[in-house]
Amino acid sequence: MRPIRHHIIATVFAVLACAVAASADERPNFVVILCDDLGWGDLACYGHPHIRTPNLDRLAGDGLRLTSCYSAAPVCSPSRVGFLTGRVPNRAGVFDWIPEARPGALPRPDARDQVHLRREEVTLPALLKAAGYATALCGKWHCNSMFNRPDQPQPNDAGFDHWFATQNNAEPSHENPVNFVRNGTLVGPLKGFSCRLVAREAIEWLERVQRANPRRPFFLYVAFHEPHEPVASPPDLVRGYLGVARSEDEAQYFANVENMDAAVGELVAALDRLGVASNTVVLFSSDNGPETLNRYRTANRSYGSPGPLRGMKLWTTEGGVRVPGILRWPARVTPGRVSDEPVSSLDLLPTFVRLAGAAVPAGLQLDGTDLSGWLAGGRLERARPLYWAYYNAINEERVAMRDGPWKVLARLEDETGAVLPKRANITEETAPAVRSARLGSISVFRLPDDVAESRDLAADPSAPRDELMRRLEALHREITSTMHVWPAARTTTPGPRIGPP
């Protein structure tokens, strides 16, 4: 993969030449706001009966609300890697959430202490930076195990000029976090709630960029920790839900989402105040479906809602990968639109690069689709179906595909028909079994009529089962044959257990 990385350098001048064709006034800015474990049904504009989200409701009214918006994976780290690369995250070797590798800890038996977003991967911020954009990350990183250490690439190596981030969750909770790092320097204890601190950092960065050069376009990635556990929320907001929540813990969750909504409001207001809102694409979404109660000991405040969808985080059903999606671009996108067209976070890289007047390096296989023509009112032609393979899924159907109106779920089986064991990582030792596994126990659903995936049409003659299976088989074999796998673990002695995803 090293030649692809070098190809970026070789094409910088070509990229910049394309960018010159559109002035900074014409090229849009980009703000991606990503929540952590926010469910499809957790916002008022997606039907939640209690949670107040006035800022996001307004953002949806001013733009485009996506009802079939998908994350790249049903869990955190691969979802983020997919968004940043425009590729199914398995290609990059990120298969599950990445636990932190503490200095001095023994290697993990699953080799996840090695997992990171490699330098060889071409990223959206790197391409935009090469095209002249200012770039920043504020919030959760979770794309390496050795955070803020020279052993692995850090956010700046992925193309971010400025970063204010944590490896995984805000610690000890959303309130008064102590683990933020700014551009390689540990910040120390902070006062306030994580989402508001992240929004404040993002706003201050925007103000500096505008003071330095108001014509320079920017790419800002705002990665909130909310509403991931451990949940902590402002007491005044919690009190506002005690009359409708079933417990104080549920009130804490409701207030957590509302507090995040307030942070979004501050950020959007800053765009307005700085006079850049009209030509700024704001995309709001979530990294995966919601957490629910008691999957692990400290998840007592996980009251996320998938709405009518089946499953949750860590499932390959709709509840694990279909997420809220709101896109506002006043200069181009008609306000008040609602679309059920399938859209994925994988689509952001090809779309933003095209809108920036830049180019994707030749030979780079992308799994996302350029949406720029569709946003302008054209048809959305998706050459490749959306695909997920999550080898550690809770449900047995660990491979999934969305192709037009159809959703296909399949088990990974060995030659005896037994389901393959769950895997949190794929190494040189385990890859052969994954690559030789067959897809079995196929389920087929027509989502526009059955969003809950309750009626399996695999045996129904009205469903194009054979054609869907051919497409899924071809896609699955191509991705598994080319996915990056990690060297086998160096020891069988387990490393320390580092929190839940």
Active centre residues (catalytic): 76, 142
Helix (H, G, I), strand (E, B) or coil at 15: helix
Q: CB of 29 within 8 A of CB of 328?
A: no
Helix (H, G, I), strand (E, B) or coil at 385: coil
Reported as type and span, the H/E element at residue 410 is strand 406-413
Q: Among 67, 15, 7, 18, which residue's Cα sits nearest to residue 308? A: 67
Residue 403 has phi, psi (to 5 degrees) of: -130, 100
Rounded to whole angstroms, how far apart are CA atoms 169 and 285? 18
Q: Tell me whether the omega of the peptide bond preceding residue 448 falls within 30 degrees of 0, making it cis.
A: no
Helices (H), 76-152: 76-85, 124-130
Tell me the chain's radius of gyration from C-alpha atoms.
21
Q: Which residue has the tokens 């859209």?
A: 343
Residue 411 has phi, psi (to 5 degrees) of: -85, 155
Helices 54-61 and 248-273, interaxial angle, to 10°? 50
Reported as type and span, the H/E element at residue 266 is helix 248-273
Q: Among 372, 379, 373, which residue's Cα sits nearest to residue 348? A: 372
- What DSSP assignment string belongs to 222-257? EE--TTSSSP---HHHHHTTTTTSSSHHHHHHHHHH
Terminal CA-CA length for the chain = 29
Interior angle at CA 278, CA 273 and CA 281, nearest 5: 105
Helix (H, G, I), strand (E, B) or coil at 30: strand
Helices (H), 62-136: 76-85, 124-130
Give the CA-trace dihedral at 172, 177, 178, 180, to 10 degrees. 120
CA 496 → CA 74, 104, 109, 166, 421, distances in Å?
Answer: 24, 11, 11, 19, 22
Beta bridge partners of residue 135, listed in sequence order:
219
Q: Which pair of structure tokens corresponds to residue 224?
A: 């909130």
> Which residues are CB-contacts of 87 (< 8 A; sequence separation ≥ 6)?
121, 346, 365, 366, 367, 368
